[in-house]
Amino acid sequence: MLFCVTASHKTASFDLLERLSRTPDTVAPNLVDAGAQGAVVLATCNRFEAYIEADDFEQHTVVEAVALATGIPATDLHGSSRVIGDRHVAEHLFAVASGLESVVSGEGEIAGQVRRALTVAREAGTTSSELERLFQRASQAQRKVKNVTALHRAGRSLVRLSLELADSRIADWAAERVLLVGTGEYAAVTLATLRERGAVDISVYSPSGRAELFAKKYGITPVFDDEYAAVAQRSTLLITCTTATEPVLGPAQFARNGNEAGAGCPMGPMAADAPHSQLVIDLGMPRNVDLTVAQLEGVALLDLETIRLHAPLEELQATDAARVVVREAAESFHLDGSRQSVTPSVVAFRTHIFGLLEAEIDRARRRGDEDGLVEQAMRHLAGVLLHTPTTRAHELAAEGRGAEFAAAMQTLYGLGPDAGADATVTAIA
């Protein structure tokens, strides 16, 4: 059975999401050690999800298993997360992969994050055949949503939205002194978006020491450790987007003590008429910027929580069309899975019948069926006899009643699902 434990911007605080995202790579192995057949963890800026295949887990125990794996008390997860069971898991993941559950509907980064989650699970050896099928079909569903609906074009990435929110404070992007903190995929997207808006004075700092390589690749200025604070102090726009688990920008980089309460303020809808000399945009999860930065004189902070509050309304028509695609993909996933569930029993039955057939054909040949007329008639009859049970098996599977067909094969012929491999050939008396 498939389960998904999900905590997202819709159900959990950013503080809890930060705590959950700190050690995502250890969660899936811990879940497998706890008895799951497979586990894949998806940890992004705005969500933490554990996809689990387990026959021995009850729905009410799944949260406890995730709590144990993450080291976060179950009491903290209850009320801030929800458990999605079996037939609803596929539709949820397909919607997530398509951007339907993102802060900004249709944002494109999530599709790559879903693919990477499966890759990480493969490398850790925590996938299962059903989870592999689930995540591969999620990528297919996402591509179909992108190709047949306007959702991807209507949606805007977090990066683009954050810079649009900054427009009210920036008169001339070419005059901004920009410091980019981070060198990952979000940094590359941020840099491209900054250049689209006209920014030219851009420097990059990397807490992990990759600034020089990134700067050389994209033609901007690298900032080294001993320069970081000085560059931060003279920058007018600072954007952080690292995977660091602790803040990488705080009062120390601004050479201020963080006690200037009330001088600055978090960016909000009413703050545009109170200009600040420095704007900090924190796109990190966990949080990259110490919250006390928002209290520094002349500094405004725009973080993911603020971006979420300013997310634009969904494009209703594109969203509705995408939901239809997702639902159809989920139904197809379940139908294929149901058919697979009866396949072993169907194979066992056909193997049994064809075994009997070959034995009887061999007997007919020994009795003088030289022209093959008896063999031809028997093969035709076997096909006719197999057609209705095979068709009925698939119909039952589509109705979720595949177990009834397996039980019938066991009752009538003594055939279990694994009998196809070594079915005993018994001649008709």
420 within a domain of the structure (yes/no): no
The answer to whether residues 406 and 272 belong to one domain is no
The per-residue pLDDT for 264 is 46
State yes or no: pLDDT of 415 exceeds 60.
Answer: yes
The answer to whether residues 300 and 214 belong to one domain is yes
Mean pLDDT over all residues of the chain?
85
- End-to-end CA, the chain: 43
pTM over 0.75: no
Query: 157 or 201: whose pLDDT is higher?
Result: 201
Residue range 235-282, pLDDT digits in tens: 999 999 987 888 999 999 987 544 444 444 444 443 443 345 899 999
Q: In what order do the strands lie in the sheet with 237-240?
A: 221-223, 201-205, 177-181, 237-240, 278-282, 299-302, 265-266
The answer to whether residues 294 and 338 belong to one domain is no
Coil, helix or strand at residue 51: strand
Greatest mean pLDDT range, 56-60, 333-337, 339-343:
333-337
Q: What is the mean pLDDT of residues 211-215?
A: 95
State yes or no: pLDDT of 313 exceeds 60.
Answer: no
Instruction: Please report which confidence band the pLDDT of residue 420 belongs to, taking 50, 70 and 90 as the band edges.
Output: very low
The answer to whether residues 248 and 213 belong to one domain is yes
The answer to whether residues 282 and 175 belong to one domain is yes
Q: Which residues pair with 240 in a beta bridge?
A: 181, 282
Q: What is the mean pLDDT of residues 9-29?
A: 86
The answer to whether residues 369 and 383 belong to one domain is yes
Domain end position, chosen among 154, 173, 200: 154
Percent of the chain with pLDDT over 90: 41
- What is the amino acid identity at position 219? G
Catalytic residue among 4, 45, 241, 265: 45
The per-residue pLDDT for 262 is 42
The answer to whether residues 8 and 150 belong to one domain is yes
263 within a domain of the structure (yes/no): yes
Q: In sequence order, what E strands does 55-133 have?
A: 82-85
425 within a domain of the structure (yes/no): no
Q: What burial letters (b/e) apply to 153-162, b meaning 16+ CB within 10 Å?
A: ebbbbbbbbb
Query: 99 or 45: whose pLDDT is higher?
Result: 99
Domain end position, chosen among 154, 169, 198: 154
**How many domains does the structure of the chain reveal?**
3
428 within a domain of the structure (yes/no): no
Q: Tell me 226's DSSP state.
A: G
The per-residue pLDDT for 50 is 95
314 within a domain of the structure (yes/no): no
Q: What is the mean pLDDT of residues 110-120?
A: 94
Q: What is the mean pLDDT of residues 304-313?
A: 75
The answer to whether residues 183 and 63 belong to one domain is no
Give the DSSP letter string of 169-205: G-S-GGG-EEEEE--SHHHHHHHHHHHHTT--EEEEE
The per-residue pLDDT for 124 is 94
The answer to whether residues 230 and 292 belong to one domain is yes
Q: Which residues pair with 52 in a beta bridge?
A: 3, 39
Q: What sign has the CA pseudo-torsion 409, 415, 419, 422?
A: negative
The C-alpha angle 131, 81, 118, rounded to 5 degrees, equals: 25
Of 161-170, 270-279, 392-401, give the lowest mean pLDDT range: 270-279
Q: In this structure, are strands 47-53 and 82-85 parallel, antiparallel, or unpaired? A: unpaired
State yes or no: pLDDT of 79 exceeds 90.
Answer: no
Q: What is the mean pLDDT of residues 181-196?
A: 90
The per-residue pLDDT for 189 is 86
Can you tell me the distance from the alpha carbon of 375 to that of 351, in angstroms, rounded to the nearest whole number?
A: 18
409 within a domain of the structure (yes/no): yes
The per-residue pLDDT for 237 is 97
The per-residue pLDDT for 123 is 95
- Residue 140 burial (C-beta neighbours within 10 Å; 0-12, 13-18, 19+): middle
Can you tell me the distance from the alpha carbon of 51 to that of 58, in angstroms, rounded to the nearest whole number?
A: 14
State yes or no: pLDDT of 171 exceeds 60.
Answer: yes
35: domain CATH number?
Answer: 3.30.460.30
Q: What is the mean pLDDT of residues 348-363?
A: 88
State yes or no: pLDDT of 161 exceeds 90.
Answer: no
Query: 202 or 100: whose pLDDT is higher?
Result: 202
Can you tell me the distance from the alpha carbon of 162 to that of 15, in angstroms, rounded to the nearest whole number?
A: 20
Asked if 2 and 52 count as a contact pair (C-beta separation under 8 A), the reply is: yes
State yes or no: pLDDT of 59 exceeds 80.
Answer: no
Q: Tell me 303's DSSP state.
A: -
45 is catalytic: yes
The answer to whether residues 224 and 335 belong to one domain is no
Asked if 182 and 242 count as a contact pair (C-beta separation under 8 A), the reply is: yes
- How many C-beta neighbours within 10 Å does residue 3 have? 25
The answer to whether residues 278 and 332 belong to one domain is no
Of 44-48, 61-65, 111-115, 393-397, give the lowest mean pLDDT range: 393-397
Domain end position, chosen among 246, 281, 309: 309
Percent of the chain with pLDDT over 70: 89
* CB-based contacts of 71, cutoff 8 Å, min separation 6: 23
188: domain CATH number?
Answer: 3.40.50.720
318 within a domain of the structure (yes/no): no
Can you tell me the distance from the alpha carbon of 28 to that of 120, in angstroms, rounded to the nearest whole number?
A: 10
The per-residue pLDDT for 312 is 65
The answer to whether residues 69 and 162 belong to one domain is no
State yes or no: pLDDT of 214 exceeds 80.
Answer: yes
Can you tell me the distance from the alpha carbon of 68 to that of 24, in angstroms, rounded to the nearest whole number?
A: 13
The per-residue pLDDT for 219 is 96
Residue-number span of the structural domain to which 33 is assigned? 2-154
303 within a domain of the structure (yes/no): yes
